[in-house]
Structure 1
Amino acid sequence: MLLKDLLYKVSLEAVAGSTDQDIRSITFDSRRVEPGSLFIAIPGTQVDGHAFIPKAIESGASAILCETMPEVLQDGVTYIQTADAARAMGFAAANFHGQPSSKLQLVGVTGTNGKTTTVTLLFRLFRALGHRCGLISTVQNQIEDEVIPSTHTTPDSLSLNALLAQMVNRGCTHVFMEVSSHAVVQERIAGLQFAGGIFTNITHDHLDFHKTFDAYIKAKKGFFDQLPKQAFALVNVDDPRGRVMVQNTVARRETYSLETGASFRGRLLSDSIFGLEMEIDSQQVHFQLIGNFNAYNLLGVYGAACLLGEEPGEVLTQLSGLQPPPGRFEQVISPEHIVGIVDYAHTPDALKNVLETISELRQGNEQIITVVGCGGNRDATKRPEMAKIACQYADRVILTSDNPRNEDPLAILADMEKGIPAQTAAVVEILPDRHEAIRRAVLLAQSHDVILVAGKGHETYQEVKGVKNHFDDREELRLAFSGH
C-alpha cells in the first residue's frame, strides 16, 4: 500500500521525504522491521520507541512515524511527525488492512465486571441466530469455531486490525469485543468503527495504571465519547455512573435496568443453583446462568441484540439455552456433593457479587469456604478490601497466592491481612501455596458446603517471576475431590 494511502485520517504535523512509496508492513517493534516497513516510534512507560529508530532504519525501514523528529534525517527514508503515535498507528493499521471494522457489526463492551460474560454470550447468541461471528475477549479470541489464544483483554491496534481482517475474510458479519480502560487510554481502538457499545458497571480496579478512580471512569467514558452517530450506546443505569458514560456521546443513547424505567427493563423473579427466572419484555424466561450480576449481563445482551435488529422473542429463546463462559461461576461437584465454584472475581465488587449470590442460594447451614488471593504488580489498594469482603461473607477464609508476578507473595498476603476484621481472624488461614490452599479448603468442607476459589477463573497458569507455570483451579478442585 502506498504510504500516502496508509496515512489517511492520520493527524500530521510534518513530513520529510516522499509518501509515494509502497509499504509492505507496519510495526512498532524494531525487531520485526523488514525492508519496506513503516516503523512507528511509540513513547512507552518503560521504553521509548524513538530510541530504536536507527535500528529500524538499519533493518530496512523505509518510513518512520514518530512524535519527535530525529536530529539527523537519513536520505531515502521518509519521516512523518504526529502528535500521538499510538493513535496514528490505529488509523494506519485500519487503512493497511482495508478498514475491516467498517465491514462488520462491531460491538464493544466495557466496564469493570461482566465484560467477558457479555461478549461471550453475544458471540454464542448470534451464532445460534445463524450469523458468522468473531470474539475478542480476555479468555480467548475466536473466529467461528477456531480458537486463537488471547494475551490481552484488548490487543494492540496492529494485531486487532489484522484479526478483524481475518474475520472479514472468513465471512464474519458480527464481532463482539471487550474494550479495556487500558485500550482506550493507549489508543488501541483508534480508527475502529463500532456499531455499538455496552457499559456494564464500574468499581475500583486498575488504579495501579490509572492512579485515580476519576481517571479510570474517564477512560471508560472515553470509549463512548468516540462512538459515531449511527452507533448505539447501551448503558446499565442501575450503576450510578451509567448516565455519566454517555454525557458527551453522539451515539444513540439506550439504557437497561432491573430497578427503574429503561429502554430494556427486566425483573428478577428467582435465583437458584439451577439458574435464573426473569421477566423481560413481559415474557417469563429461565436462564442457565446464576446470580443477580448475570441478570444484568443477560439484560445487556438482550438489549444489544434487539438494537442490532434481531427479533426479541427469538433472542430470548436462544439466550435461555446458553451456558456461562469458562471460569465464570463454573461449578465442580464432588462425589460427596461438596459444591466447588471457580470464578474470575478479582475485584472487590466482583468478589462481593459472587459471595452474595452464594449466600442467597444457601438453603440451610452449609458452610461457605473462600479461597482468594490478589495478583502482584497490580492495584494494591484493593488487597485489604478483598480480604475484608471474603471475611464478611464466608464462614472460613483461606488467603493464598494469585499470580504474584514479580512481587513477593508474602508481601501481597501481608497487604491482604490488613483487611481482616478482628472478630473473624480465627476463621482465616494463610497458605501462600495455592495448591495447598485448595486442598485445605476441601479438607474443611462437608457435604453440600460451598467452596469458592476466586480470582483466576479461566486462567490455566500461575505467573511467578515472569514464568507462567501450569495451574488450573478447576483441575486442582477435581484432583482434591478425588483424593489425589
Structure 2
Amino acid sequence: MKLLKDILYGVSLSAVSGDTNVMVNNVHFDSRKVEMDDVFVAVRGTVTDGHKYIQKAVDSGARAIVCEELPELMVNGVTYLQVVNCNSALAIIASNFYDNPSKNLKLVGVTGTNGKTTVTTLLYHLFKKAGFKVGLISTIKVLVDEKEYKTSHTTPDVLTINDYLSKMNAAGVEFCFMEVSSHGIHQKRAEGLYFEGAIFTNLSHDHLDYHKTFADYRDTKKKLFDGLPKTAFALVNIDDKNGLVMLQNTKAKKYTYALKSFANYRGQILEKQFNGQLLKVDDNELWSKLIGDFNAYNLLAIYAAADILGLEKMETLRLMSELDNVDGRFQYYISKGKITAIVDYAHTPDALKNVLITINALRTGNENVITVVGCGGDRDKSKRPVMGHIASEMSNQVIFTSDNPRTESPTVIIEEMEAGVEPQNTRKVLSIENRKQAIKTACKLALANDIILVAGKGHETYQETNGVRVDFDDFKEVKEALSSLGK
C-alpha cells in the first residue's frame, strides 16, 4: 500500500476534501476494477466520461477520487481531489505509485507516422546483441528483457506503462525503447515519464479522424520534444521538413540524420537488391537485410541513437548487419515458382507509396506487381481515395479488399478507395471484399518472377468486424495460397 499524499506529489490540486494522509491500495481509471481502498481517477475518455462512475467507484470501496468536477454528493471517509486535467494527474500519480521507474533506466521514445515499430524493435535487438538488458514497448509486443507481453495499443495507458517499467527495473533493464503515438501524447500517456531521448522518424497523412488537421497532428508529436529536459537528446530526420519543427522549442541536445541533407549523421544508398542493401554510413559501409529508402532512414536513426547512447560505432555497424526485418514490415517470401510475396503494414498513403517505390526500384521490368490492399474502418476516411490512387497508379494489378472494417461497411470503404482511381487505371482494379479470397486471387494471377504485395495489416494476426476478431495472418495466408496452387 502507498500513502495517498506521496502518490500525489507533483499533482496540481484545485481543491481537496478529506484526508490525504491515508493508505491506498491501487490506482484505477476503470471503475469496474476498483476495490477496497483504491484510488479512482475519473478520466474523460473518447467513449465515456469517468465522472459518471464516481459513485460506482465509491460503492466498490474507493478511498480517494480524483476528478475535474467535484460530485454533488461527497461521502464521508472518502477523499475527493479536484484537478484541472485527470489525464495529466493520472500520469503523475501512476509514475509516483510505481516509484518513478523511468528514472531508473534510459527510456527512449520514438514518434512519427511510419517507422516507429521498426526503429524501436531493432534498437531493442541491437542493444541485446551488445550485451545489455533491454526493454521494448511497441505496437507488436512488450518485452521486459526476454519476457514477452502482448499489447493492443501503440502507447499503452500510463498505469500499464509504469507497471512494465517497474518490471523492467526489477529485471535490471538498462535501456527501454518505446513507441510514442500521437494518441498517446494527446491523452497524456507519456507525461510523468523521464525520457533519456526522443527520435522523430517522419510525418505524413494519418490519424486525421482523431486530430482533424495536419497541424494539430504535427503539434501533438512536437509536445514529446517540447517536454524533454536539457539532459536528454532529440534526434530527428532532417530530410522531413517537420524535423526542424520538432526541434524548435526543445531544451534537449539536438541531433539530426539524413540521406539528402547536411546532418550530424549522414547516409547514402550504394546498392539495392531484394535480399538487402548496401549503405554508406558516416564514411563506413553497411550491408543490411532491410531494403528500401524508408529502411535506410530507420537504420540511420538506429545508428545515430546507438552512438548518442554510447555504443562504439564500428561495433554498432557490425551488429546492425545482423539485424533482420521486423514481422509485417517488408516481410517477404519467395515461392518455389519464384513468385515473391511481400507483406507490409503500410496503412497510410506515404507508407504504401514508399513500399511500392522500393518494389519498383528492384524490378527488372518484366515482372508484374500485384497489390492487395484495404483501409481500416472507423479511421481517417480522407486517405482512402489517396491510397486507391497510389495502389492503382504504381501497380500492374490491384485488388481492393477488406482490412479491419470494424463498425463500417467493407463495401463502402472499398467504394471510397475506388473513387481515387484514375480512368486509365480502372482496368487494373478488382474489388474482392473477402480478404482471404482477394489474396488467393492475387496468387492465381501471379506468374513466375511476379511480385505480390499484401498491404495494410502487416504483423496483425486478426481481422476485426463489428467488435469481433477472427484469426487472420496475411503472411500465413499468402504462403498457403501459393503452396496450394503449386506455385
Q: TM-score, normalised by structure 1?
A: 0.99
State the 1:43 CA deviation: 1.3
**What's the counterpart of residue 381 of structure 1?**
382
**In structure 1, what residue type is equivalent to 2:252?**
A
1:284 aligns with 2:281: no
Q: Using the alignment, how far apart are the partners of 1:17 and 1:271 within structure 2?
A: 67
**In structure 2, what residue type is equivalent to 1:340?**
A
Q: Using the alignment, how far apart are the partners of 2:325 and 2:227 within structure 1?
A: 30
**What's the counterpart of residue 455 of structure 2?**
454
Q: Using the alignment, how far apart are the partners of 2:67 and 2:258 within structure 1?
A: 45
State the 1:274 CA deviation: 1.8
Per-residue Cα deviation, 1:291-338 (whole angstroms, up to 9, x for no partner): 010000000010001111111111111011100100000012211010
Shifted more, 351-360 versus 260-269: the winner is 260-269
Q: Using the alignment, how far apart are the partners of 1:418 and 1:406 within structure 2?
A: 21
State the 1:23 CA deviation: 1.1
Q: Using the alignment, how far apart are the partners of 1:275 and 1:45 within structure 2?
A: 43
Q: Classify the secondary structure of the residue corresponding to 2:149.
A: strand
Alignment of 1:425-436 (within 5 A): 425-436=426-437
State the 1:469 CA deviation: 0.4
State the 1:234 CA deviation: 0.1
State the 1:72 CA deviation: 2.1
Aligned residues: CA RMSD: 0.7
**In structure 1, what residue type is equivalent to 2:216?**
A
**What's the counterpart of residue 176 of structure 2?**
175
Q: Classify the secondary structure of the residue corresponding to 1:270.
A: strand
Q: Using the alignment, how far apart are the partners of 1:144 and 1:365 within structure 2?
A: 46
State the 1:132 CA deviation: 0.3
**What's the counterpart of residue 79 of structure 1?**
80
Q: Using the alignment, how far apart are the partners of 1:97 and 1:274 within structure 2?
A: 45
Contact preservation (8 Å) 1:39, 1:61: yes
1:47 aligns with 2:48: yes
Q: Classify the secondary structure of the residue corresponding to 2:360.
A: helix
**What's the counterpart of residue 58 of structure 1?**
59
Q: Using the alignment, how far apart are the partners of 2:333 and 2:280 within structure 1?
A: 29
Q: Classify the secondary structure of the residue corresponding to 2:46.
A: coil
**In structure 2, what residue type is equivalent to 1:257?**
A
Give the percent of matched residue pairs that are identical in Structure 1 and Structure 2.
51
Alignment of 1:9-20 (within 5 A): 9-20=10-21
**What's the counterpart of residue 248 of structure 1?**
249
State the 1:364 CA deviation: 3.1
Alignment of 1:62-141 (within 5 A): 62-141=63-142
Q: Using the alignment, how far apart are the partners of 1:259 and 1:333 within structure 2?
A: 32
1:343 aligns with 2:344: yes
Per-residue Cα deviation, 1:230-278 (whole angstroms, up to 9, x for no partner): 0000000000111001101111111001112111111111111121111
Q: Classify the secondary structure of the residue corresponding to 1:267.
A: strand
Q: Using the alignment, how far apart are the partners of 1:11 and 1:336 within structure 2?
A: 65
1:23 aligns with 2:15: no
Shifted more, 273-282 versus 103-112: the winner is 273-282
Q: Classify the secondary structure of the residue corresponding to 2:167.
A: helix
Q: Using the alignment, how far apart are the partners of 1:364 and 1:428 within structure 2?
A: 20
5+ unaligned residues in a row in structure 1: which ranges?
none
**What's the counterpart of residue 204 of structure 1?**
205
**In structure 1, what residue type is equivalent to 2:325?**
P
Alignment of 1:307-318 (within 5 A): 307-318=308-319
1:148 aligns with 2:144: no
Q: Using the alignment, how far apart are the partners of 1:285 and 1:26 within structure 2?
A: 48
State the 1:110 CA deviation: 0.2
**In structure 2, what residue type is equivalent to 1:251?**
A
Contact preservation (8 Å) 1:271, 1:292: no
5+ unaligned residues in a row in structure 2: which ranges?
none
**What's the counterpart of residue 329 of structure 2?**
328
Alignment of 1:186-205 (within 5 A): 186-205=187-206
1:5 aligns with 2:21: no
Alignment of 1:213-228 (within 5 A): 213-228=214-229
Q: Classify the secondary structure of the residue corresponding to 1:13.
A: strand
State the 1:45 CA deviation: 2.5
Q: Classify the secondary structure of the residue corresponding to 1:474.
A: helix
Per-residue Cα deviation, 1:43-85 (whole angstroms, up to 9, x for no partner): 1222110110001000000000000011121100001111010
Q: Classify the secondary structure of the residue corresponding to 1:363.
A: coil
Q: Using the alignment, how far apart are the partners of 1:175 and 1:352 within structure 2?
A: 31
Q: Classify the secondary structure of the residue corresponding to 1:195.
A: strand
**In structure 1, what residue type is equivalent to 2:331?**
E
**What's the counterpart of residue 164 of structure 1?**
165
Q: Using the alignment, how far apart are the partners of 1:356 and 1:300 within structure 2?
A: 21
State the 1:144 CA deviation: 2.1
Q: Using the alignment, how far apart are the partners of 2:475 and 2:48 within structure 1?
A: 38
Q: Using the alignment, how far apart are the partners of 1:46 and 1:319 within structure 2?
A: 43
Contact preservation (8 Å) 1:68, 1:81: yes
Structure 1 residue ranges (4+ consecutive) displaced by more than 4 angstroms after TM superposition: none
Q: Using the alignment, how far apart are the partners of 1:271 and 1:216 within structure 2?
A: 33
